[in-house]
Structure 1
Amino acid sequence: MEKYVEINSMGYTLRGMMHIPENRNEKIPFVILFHGFQDDRNEINFVHTELSRRLCERGIGSVRFDFLGSGESDGCFEDITVSREVQNGLDILDYVDALPFVDSSRIALHGLSLGGCVAGMVAGLRKEKVKALSLWCPALDLVYNMREKNLCGQDVSDIEEKGYADVEGLRLSLDFYKDCLGIDPYAIASQFDKRVNLVHGDQDITASCDVSRKLKDMYGDRADLLIVSGAEHRFTSVPYRKARMESALRFLCNELKKG
């Protein structure tokens, strides 16, 4: 079953889609999916929609919300900061944790690109509530590069002068830049103490593959890392997409359906 849902976060309405397996006889494991920068809950080439549906076929529920200022949720793009997305993520986790049909001991987070950065930070802040962490092309480097006024290769050095950066016709606020100056995603994500699955393309110029390598080193034996040769940030081929999808499905099923 696919069901439209809404929650309140920081006074804004977040809108999303929940996937609930049919014929459930007990509380179910659950995955929360976080989308990336300038995307929405369906994600690049609808890949999060596919992941949710395939998880549902395997008896695992999920929810995909648009972050504040993205997709159908309240706000505009200028409202976005990394810290606000992290707060959205914490509020979504609390919402899922309170659902009567969800097994609170089997909740995983999954994130793509900046959503992977957010997922890692939420997992670090609420490690007692998160069973496993799945990351596709996590873009923690976006935060650190933004401190140098570089956004995914775009020079935004005029952001203080103009009060915003022009990102493909969208206004990225000065607040976004200032927020990046004050947060340390690696330090927060490092607090997570359970299993992690990382998938990254070695041709990714949007979020460096070095991010996933650093996370692998940081998490040690608790993390698996798949580097897909030839894949860029969008994983725009059938074989690349299949490799990424199957890695996440295998990991999430193994972690959430065991025990």
Structure 2
Amino acid sequence: MDINIKRDGLTLRGRLERPDTESKCPAVIIFHGFTGDLGYERDGLFQALADMLTENGIAVVRFDFNGHGKSDGSFTDMNVLNEIEDAIAILEYVRKLDFVTEIYVIGHSQGGVVAGMLAGYYPDVIHKLVLLAPAATLKDDAQKGVCMDAVYDTQHIPDTVCVGGEHVVGGHYFRIAKLLPIYEVTGNYQGPALVIHGIHDAVVDASAAVRYHECLENCRLELMEGIDHGLQGDEYAQMVKAVVNFLCTE
């Protein structure tokens, strides 16, 4: 079902899917990446995960971050810190659901950065963490003055930067990104974690996943030859199965 929550005057729009039972169950929150959405396509990754997880007795909550998809806000106003604010609001929503027994979090790309830091801030609330191609290199890129095809002066960051020829990113995004304590905060989480990354990811270097593995105390790292940054490729089914098994059986 469609669900809405308020965060600082913005409406964040999402979707809740439950197993075919009235019994209490765990719930997983899925966070999408930069320019993405909660996954409206029936054949998309997030819907595939939702279908498999609900079949295995886990509820799934997905939201569009501010400035993305159907949620309120301007993309230009988005940054990692206010996506963390979104994530906290979503987490608080899930905590209040009377049927939820445990809370898990999945994050892809920039959503992985948000998910990891959220787990670091709420290590007593989040029971399992999954990071898919987590884009912690966004900090390194901001320090270099690059974002995909865009280049800018890190000492005089402009008010806006056009990325990919169509996405106008606020300069504050990069000012924040270059100083984010990504691994420091994420490392405060000590629960079970799974990090999956494509070895040949052309967008986010797999070294980011290795660093997550080093900073997370109870983490399994899977580096895959056959998936790209969008998690598509020859090992797509294996990747999905690894996530579902981790959340359902481990």
Same fold (TM over 0.5): yes
Partner in structure 1 of residue 64 of structure 2: 66
Kindly report which structure 2 residues correspond to 1:167-182, keeping only aligned pairs within 5 A, or say none: 167-168=163-164, 169-182=166-179
Partner in structure 2 of residue 227 of structure 1: 223
Which of 125, 128, 143 matches 1:129?
125
Contact 1:34 1:119 in 2 (8 A): yes
Partner in structure 1 of residue 162 of structure 2: 166
Q: For the structure 1 residues 158 and 188, does the alpha-carbon distance in structure 2 shift closer, same or farther, using more than 3 Å as the test?
A: closer
Identity score, percent: 28
Alignment deviations for residues 21-78 of structure 1 (CA, whole Å, 9 cap, x no partner):
11223x2100000000010011896211110111001110011000000000001110
Kindly report which structure 2 residues correspond to 1:24-63, keeping only aligned pairs within 5 A, or say none: 24-25=22-23, 27-42=24-39, 46-63=44-61
Distance 1:182 1:137 in 2: 20
State the SS of the aligned residue for 2:44. Answer: helix
Partner in structure 1 of residue 240 of structure 2: 245
Distance 1:241 1:70 in 2: 25
Contact 1:5 1:15 in 2 (8 A): yes
Partner in structure 2 of residue 77 of structure 1: 75
User: How many pairs does the alignment contain?
Assistant: 248
What is the CA-CA distance between 1:198 and the residue it aligns to? 0.8
Distance 2:104 2:142 in 1: 28
Alignment deviations for residues 168-210 of structure 1 (CA, whole Å, 9 cap, x no partner):
2111001111211332111110100101001110111211100
State the SS of the aligned residue for 1:147. Answer: helix
Distance 2:129 2:40 in 1: 18
Contact 1:159 1:165 in 2 (8 A): no
Matched residue type, 2:202 = I
Distance 2:139 2:93 in 1: 27
Question: What RMSD in Å do the two structures reach over aligned CA positions?
Answer: 1.8
What is the CA-CA distance between 1:231 and the residue it aligns to? 2.5
Structure 1 unaligned regions, length at least 5: none
Structure (1/2) with the larger helix percentage: 1
Kindly report which structure 2 residues correspond to 1:81-230, keeping only aligned pairs within 5 A, or say none: 81-103=79-101, 106-152=102-148, 154-157=150-153, 160=156, 162-168=158-164, 169-220=166-217, 222-230=218-226
What is the CA-CA distance between 1:13 and the residue it aligns to? 0.3
Matched residue type, 1:203 = H
What is the CA-CA distance between 1:85 and the residue it aligns to? 0.4
Contact 1:31 1:61 in 2 (8 A): yes
State the SS of the aligned residue for 1:131. Answer: strand
Q: For the structure 1 residues 182 and 250, does the alpha-carbon distance in structure 2 shift closer, same or farther, using more than 3 Å as the test?
A: same
Matched residue type, 1:217 = E
Matched residue type, 1:233 = H
Contact 2:77 2:170 in 1 (8 A): yes
Q: For the structure 1 residues 192 and 207, does the alpha-carbon distance in structure 2 shift closer, same or farther, using more than 3 Å as the test?
A: same
Matched residue type, 1:91 = A
Which of 15, 19, 26 matches 2:17?
19
Matched residue type, 1:102 = V
Distance 1:110 1:30 in 2: 11
Contact 1:158 1:165 in 2 (8 A): no
Structure 2 unaligned regions, length at least 5: none
Distance 2:248 2:40 in 1: 21
Displaced runs of 4 or more, over 3 A: 156-162
